[in-house]
Amino acid sequence: MLIQLANGKCIELSVELYLRLSDQDLKELESLNWGEEINDPFAISVLKYGPSKRNESYHEDDEDDEVEPDLNDISDEEKLSDSDFIDIDNIEV
């Protein structure tokens, strides 16, 4: 997505990155004169270029289509002991 900073310059960010940025981060990008001037309001627009082309062969090759269980179907003990979500550095003893 394109974001126009207060200085008039535009930067391209993913939605996830934009949601992680604070107002202070955006002000720092503006003070560094980051970005470029875009005079075309339809730059990288779906209206001008159409929808993106998906690589269908990539999605057809997925043979390990794992179905994730619903969170309600997982026991509380399994949720608490899941090693993927334990932050070892911040465990209080």
CA Rg, the chain, in Å?
21
Task: Tell me the C-alpha distance between 26 and 32, whole Å.
Answer: 10
Question: What's the pLDDT tens digit per position in 13-31?
Answer: 889 999 999 999 989 988 8
What pLDDT, on a 0 to 100 scale, did the predictor assign at position 75?
Answer: 83
What pLDDT, on a 0 to 100 scale, did the predictor assign at position 38?
Answer: 77
Quick check: 5 and 18 in contact, CB under 8 A?
Answer: no
Decide: residue 13, CB within 10 A, 0-12 exposed, 13-18 middle, 19+ buried.
middle
What pLDDT, on a 0 to 100 scale, did the predictor assign at position 63?
Answer: 56
Residue type, 57: S
pTM: 0.42
What pLDDT, on a 0 to 100 scale, did the predictor assign at position 62?
Answer: 54
Identify the segments of the chain with pLDDT beneath 50. none
Task: Tell me the C-alpha distance between 39 and 9, whole Å.
Answer: 10
